[in-house]
């Protein structure tokens, strides 16, 4: 036993030449066609339409979606590499595109064929913007404490409730919405169901955009669902299984958040190294001082460890080793985002006064990574997932 896993074969990472060629083409595209828009987009709080169109033309919006539903059919590792590279250039753009997975995973896993054919292709092609409306004002991490209600009436459900901190919330065409269809019973999570809701359905309201400290170009909103009539055929999977579908969705999307951490860390390392080479102090380049060298060396080591952890989690997903992938994904999300924060702080330190100005872009990375540490399961929750899954798998103990 190699705790918390059963054998050392678990720790293999498979990166092909195709993956590396994909990375190079994506990086070249982002630096050429996306990077010029970042500063303006962050100031205005939006991602220009021309950027989104170029992303769609490259086929990057639906990279992980099967080809039969309009996507590229890429594996999890390709999705992670893409997310890492996008975040390196523009974290807000990565946040927006990451919602494609959160929306599509539950439909692809548990939706009907009609749901898949109707809702997945326009999202994969970038024709429609998706969102996952799960978090509520009364509790983010406590999904089982959900207050939103969905009542079955003949051939439809009527949804009432509020959702908050919804990425793409104010601009989405389609939402995957969780709501309670029956009382909790013996387990708090039971009775929650999952639905596909269209923006144009009467009663769907954007309460307002939420201004956050980072990811300024990502649209984060509060939503209200007031007597929203949703056709019964828009129920995803089985009634009462929405909580489990949501957890399964986060398990599948978590390596993407780890990859966002990698992208932030990579951008910070590049900025600190470049500045240390170009900037002089006391008649010598900053890079010549041992304290600066140590900061860069520590950062390079930590980002390499985080990248291996993230690519490993993606590889486990691609191999279909679900139980191990859940633990690895939580480890990767927690570790990569924590490491990114440390690296950004070092980069700010090396930049000195310039590190806290908006002109260098370093302080923006700090604001962005603080959000990544929280969404899709705060890092403290990831630690609980790691220990609970380990106890369940190896010891048969439910915690």
Query: For 13, which DSSP code?
Result: -
Read off the tokens for 173: 């065409």
Residue 135 has pLDDT above 60, yes or no: yes
Dist CA 227 CA 132 (whole Å) = 19
Give percent of the chain above pLDDT 70: 99
Residue 295 lies in a domain: yes
Tens-place pLDDT, residues 44-102: 999 999 999 999 999 999 999 999 999 999 999 999 999 999 999 999 999 999 999 99
How many CA within 13 A on the CB side of residue 103?
36
Residue 203 CB-density burial (10 A; 0-12 exposed, 13-18 middle, 19+ buried): middle
Answer whether 228's CB lies under 8 Å from 204's CB: yes
| Triad 18, 322, 164: Cα angle to 5° | 95
pLDDT value of position 389: 85
Residue 289 has pLDDT above 60, yes or no: yes
Which residue out of 84, 85, 376, 389 is catalytically annotated? 376
Range of the domain at 234: 131-240
pLDDT band at 4; cut points 50, 70, 90: confident
Phi, psi of 174 (to 5 degrees): -125, 145
Which of 129, 151, 184 is the last residue before a domain boundary?
Answer: 129
Answer whether 247's CB lies under 8 Å from 241's CB: no
The mean per-residue pLDDT over the stretch 342-348 comes to 98
CATH number of the domain where residue 68 is located = 1.10.540.10
pLDDT value of position 162: 97
pLDDT band at 287; cut points 50, 70, 90: very high
Other beta carbons within 10 Å of 344? 28
Q: Are residues 288 and 386 in the same domain?
A: yes
Dist CA 244 CA 69 (whole Å) = 24
Total domains present in the chain: 3
Q: Are residues 49 and 187 in the same domain?
A: no
pLDDT value of position 399: 62
Q: Are residues 218 and 252 in the same domain?
A: no
What length is written for the chain? 399
Residue 40 lies in a domain: yes
Q: Are residues 259 and 363 in the same domain?
A: yes
- Specify the higher pLDDT residue, 158 or 143: 158
pLDDT band at 1; cut points 50, 70, 90: low
| 376 in active site | yes
- Specify the higher pLDDT residue, 394 or 12: 12
CATH number of the domain where residue 184 is located = 2.40.110.10
Q: Are residues 125 and 168 in the same domain?
A: no
Residue 3 lies in a domain: no
Residue 161 lies in a domain: yes
pTM beyond 0.85: yes
Strand partners for 193: 179
């Amino acid at each position: 036993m190699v705790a918390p896993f059963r054998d050392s074969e678990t720790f293999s990472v498979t990166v092909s030449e195709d993956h590396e060629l994909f990375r190079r083409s994506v990086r070249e595209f982002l630096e050429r066609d996306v990077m010029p828009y970042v500063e303006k987009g962050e100031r205005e709080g939006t991602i220009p339409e021309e950027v989104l169109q170029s992303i769609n033309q490259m086929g990057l919006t639906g990279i992980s979606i099967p080809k039969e539903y309009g996507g590229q059919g890429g594996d999890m590792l390709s999705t992670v590499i893409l997310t890492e590279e996008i975040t390196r250039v523009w974290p807000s753009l990565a946040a927006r595109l990451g919602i494609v997975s959160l929306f599509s995973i539950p439909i692809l896993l548990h939706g009907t064929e009609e749901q898949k054919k109707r809702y997945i292709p326009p999202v994969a092609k970038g024709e429609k913007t998706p969102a996952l409306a799960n978090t509520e004002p009364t509790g983010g991490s406590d999904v089982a404490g959900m207050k939103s209600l969905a009542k079955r009436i003949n051939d439809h459900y009527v949804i009432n409730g509020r959702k908050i901190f919804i990425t793409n919330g104010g601009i989405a065409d389609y939402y995957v919405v969780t709501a309670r269809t029956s009382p909790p019973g013996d387990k708090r999570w039971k009775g929650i169901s999952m639905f596909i809701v269209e923006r144009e359905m009467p009663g769907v309201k954007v309460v307002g955009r939420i201004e956050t400290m980072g990811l300024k170009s990502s649209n984060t909103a509060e939503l209200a669902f007031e007597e929203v009539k949703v056709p019964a055929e828009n129920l995803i999977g089985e009634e009462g299984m929405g909580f489990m579908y949501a957890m399964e969705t986060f398990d599948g999307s978590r390596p993407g958040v780890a990859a966002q951490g990698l992208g932030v860390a990579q951008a910070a390392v590049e900025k600190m190294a470049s500045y240390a080479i170009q900037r002089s102090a006391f008649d010598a380049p900053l890079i010549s001082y041992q304290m600066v060298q140590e900061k860069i060396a520590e950062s390079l080591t930590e980002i390499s460890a985080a990248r291996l952890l993230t690519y490993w989690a993606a590889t486990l997903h691609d191999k279909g080793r679900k139980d191990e992938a859940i633990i690895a994904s939580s480890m990767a999300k927690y570790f990569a985002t924590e490491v990114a924060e440390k690296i950004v702080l070092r980069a700010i330190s090396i930049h000195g006064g310039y590190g806290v100005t908006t002109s260098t872009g370093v302080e923006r990375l700090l604001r962005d990574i603080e959000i990544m540490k929280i969404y899709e399961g705060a890092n403290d929750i990831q630690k609980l997932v790691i220990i609970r899954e380990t106890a369940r798998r190896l010891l048969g103990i439910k915690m």
